[in-house]
Structure 1
Amino acid sequence: MQENRKIRLGISIGDLNGIGCEVVLKTFEDSRMLDFCTPVIFASNKTISFQKNALGITIKYHGIHEASKIIDGKINVVNIWKEIPKIEFGKETEEAGKYALKSLRAAVKALKEENIDTLVTAPINKNNIQSEDFKFPGHTDYLAQELEGESLMFMVTDTLKVGLLTDHVAVKDAPMAINPILVRTKVRTIEKSLQMDFGIRKPKIALLGINPHSGDNGVIGKEDDEVLKPVIKEMSDSGHLIFGPYSADSFFGSDSYKNFDAVLAAYHDQGLIPFKTLSFGKGVNYTAGLSKIRTSPDHGTAYEIAGKGKADHSSFKEAVFTALQIFKNRTEFRELNENPLQKQKVRR
């Protein structure tokens, strides 16, 4: 990245019938956002024009035909389709899924080719985006295939960070998916992310139990005793600050999470229900552990309010600022490791 230009922030537009376009346009309707980055939206001029007119949003943008022609300091729209998709706000359609995938693939390609520095993804519908080219339960798994590294679904705010051992996995399959190798991998990934992406030198991590009351010493399941506890002891003995397993039902309500830099939940709802309860509208979904940076808002397509101008863009805006801050933190981390004499400047 050239030192004299702003961070280029790529945006995949998500489901055209949802609130994706609305939260994107509302975020950058505030021209002050251009002080922080150069936004690059992967869609088409006509699609963005239709959306902004339908929603009554006043915004100026510059159309380009390829990501290598980005103009710094302006809102860029990369025209990746020429036709005009049919937009039916609030409806799940095959066409909307097709264009969501086109936008995502073009944005990821630009990210891999370093035409953009970070990626923020607007919400997709996990059902209508399915095709021969996309057979994944969500963004995270697709990005794990496309980008190098060990992916981790990491929900973050300034005060609460929750990672997942298993993410888009059926509840009945989650315990079978959790094994010592997975636990070690996820702990190392979350630890590295906290160091590299959030500037925490020696992260302290809490691991939630798989079963109610962490199994009650085997009375309500043996997975916690047989899988989690041995790994926690092994990693603690080797210097990792990993603690648990903690009973998930009281962990958040008692504010125990405030004693740790991050929490690693066993499965999706165990982590996301308390996270969204405590942070909805301010939370960000970050795909940690990859070679590139991707964030997204903590909500879905919200078909029920699509096209009505009622969408709250707070979480998308937070996703933008989080992506920018992580990019800066990674740059600083890289520079400090290249110059060991400066390591004492790393933040706690």
Structure 2
Amino acid sequence: MQNDNKPVIGITCGDVNGIGLELIIKTVADTRLLDICTPVIFANNKVLNFYRKSIPDVNFNFTSTKDAGRINHKQINLFNCWEEEVAITPGQLNDIGGKYAVISLVTAAQALKEGKIDGLVTAPIHKKNTQSAEFNFTGHTPYFKKLFGANDVIMFMVAENMRVALLTEHVPVKDAASLITKESILSKLTLLNNSLKKDFNIDKPKIAVLGLNPHAGDESLIGKEEAEIIKPAIKEAKQKDIFCFGPYSSDAFFARGYHERFDAVLAMYHDQGLIPFKSLAIGEGVNFTAGISGVRTSPDHGVAFDIAGKNKADEASFRQAIYTCVDIINARKEFAEQRANPLRKISKRMIANAVDEAIIEDPE
């Protein structure tokens, strides 16, 4: 779908009563975005116009289509996912918000799977009103895992100064420990290592692994998972040429800034990774689904019903999610080219080294 190396990026609307559509309008209204990608919004004319009226200072235009294979690369595109009237009630958690969030997501995700778009940025949904017999998922990540038939995936949070991957995701804390196995750690480390190489162009990724218990178990005095599960998994991963270290006590690890010494951190459970990420990340955080053939990103926040429809939403994380999506698409393309022509990568390194030497030798 790329046109002159400009990828086509699908955008879901999220909960129509949340801040998703406001974020989208504010983000794509900056026409400079068209220089790096072609946005395709999966929603409906009327809901888009509803929120456009609530942002009077934004100049926003789009062209409508019902065929994801036929889009205008010089404009913002709207793919109409439904025709019926929708009662929009900003800030309200109801079935309508969940129904159309799922319609947008399923339509856009299928377009991603079929290659009609090159990447997908998903606006926030609410887990409660999206549940049904047809859509029984705790979030975007398990949905994309099933859609793409992946054996495993990673909820991967990325920012300028840190990347945090989760071993377990949206599960109760009381259940998290039972899901931590040697096999699951090895699977995540393998995926994480591959993603850092393919999606972020890091030749030899360095990965930190956190412990589960306080003080990483204190030599098995406060839990045995570190000694019996995590350490053996790290040892085996090293034997598979995965450059990983740990387990580290999570409090000291982040407090001392060790996360900046590694290319990524593997956390054992949701809050262990997300609290420090949202507290310490520089720039705007992005949620990336690693392990599927498609590229999917999202902002690192929720539906924010409390400010929906009030023109108060900050689009910075959503904008960064689009940038990250484009960057990963381009990184994968470069990775594929380097595998096809290894000499290309060597020559780039030689040029870089020559430039470094010239800089060192130049007295000016």
TM-score of the superposed pair, with normalisation by structure 2: 0.93
**Who is 1:256 aligned against?**
258
Shift of residue 117, structure 1, vs aligned partner: 0.3
**Who is 1:97 aligned against?**
98
**Who is 2:69 aligned against?**
68
Structure 1 pair 126/281, CA: closer, same or farther in 2 (3 Å)? Answer: farther
Deviations 1:230-264 (A, max 9, x none): 11122224432110000011111100111111000
Work out the percentage of aligned pairs sharing the same amino acid: 49
**Who is 2:317 aligned against?**
315
Q: Is the deviation greater in 335-344 or in 115-124?
A: 335-344
Q: 2:241 aligns with which of 227, 239, 242?
A: 239
**Who is 1:269 aligned against?**
271
- For residues 325 and 73 of structure 1, the distance between their equivalents in structure 2, rounded to whole angstroms, comes to 20
Shift of residue 54, structure 1, vs aligned partner: 2.4
**Who is 1:124 aligned against?**
125
- For residues 146 and 347 of structure 2, the distance between their equivalents in structure 1, rounded to whole angstroms, comes to 35
Question: Contact between 1:152 and 1:288, CA under 8 Å: does it hold in 2?
Answer: yes
- For residues 323 and 345 of structure 1, the distance between their equivalents in structure 2, rounded to whole angstroms, comes to 27
**Who is 2:82 aligned against?**
81
Q: 2:169 aligns with which of 167, 187, 196?
A: 167
Gaps of 5+ in 1: none
- For residues 88 and 254 of structure 1, the distance between their equivalents in structure 2, rounded to whole angstroms, comes to 45
The one-letter amino acid paired with 1:172 is: K
Shift of residue 294, structure 1, vs aligned partner: 0.2
**Who is 1:50 aligned against?**
50
Gaps of 5+ in 2: 353-364
**Who is 1:279 aligned against?**
281
Question: Contact between 1:157 and 1:279, CA under 8 Å: does it hold in 2?
Answer: yes
Shift of residue 5, structure 1, vs aligned partner: 5.3
Deviations 1:149-201 (A, max 9, x none): 33100000121000001011111111100111100000000100000000000
Shift of residue 6, structure 1, vs aligned partner: 1.9
CA RMSD between the two structures: 1.5
The residue correspondences of 1:150-299 to structure 2 (distance < 5 A) are 150-279=152-281, 282-299=284-301
- For residues 52 and 145 of structure 2, the distance between their equivalents in structure 1, rounded to whole angstroms, comes to 32
Q: Is the deviation greater in 331-340 or in 2-11?
A: 2-11
- For residues 6 and 256 of structure 1, the distance between their equivalents in structure 2, rounded to whole angstroms, comes to 37
- For residues 5 and 48 of structure 1, the distance between their equivalents in structure 2, rounded to whole angstroms, comes to 28
- For residues 171 and 246 of structure 1, the distance between their equivalents in structure 2, rounded to whole angstroms, comes to 19
- For residues 218 and 93 of structure 1, the distance between their equivalents in structure 2, rounded to whole angstroms, comes to 47
Q: Which has the larger radius of gyration?
A: 2
Paired positions, count: 348
Shift of residue 315, structure 1, vs aligned partner: 0.2
Structure 1 pair 284/342, CA: closer, same or farther in 2 (3 Å)? Answer: same
Structure 1 pair 292/226, CA: closer, same or farther in 2 (3 Å)? Answer: same
Deviations 1:111-145 (A, max 9, x none): 11111000000000011011111111000000000
Look up the SS of the partner of 1:163 in the other structure: strand
Structure 1 pair 105/238, CA: closer, same or farther in 2 (3 Å)? Answer: closer
Structure 1 pair 288/346, CA: closer, same or farther in 2 (3 Å)? Answer: farther
- For residues 96 and 278 of structure 2, the distance between their equivalents in structure 1, rounded to whole angstroms, comes to 30
Question: Contact between 1:19 and 1:306, CA under 8 Å: does it hold in 2?
Answer: yes
Question: Contact between 1:118 and 1:323, CA under 8 Å: does it hold in 2?
Answer: yes
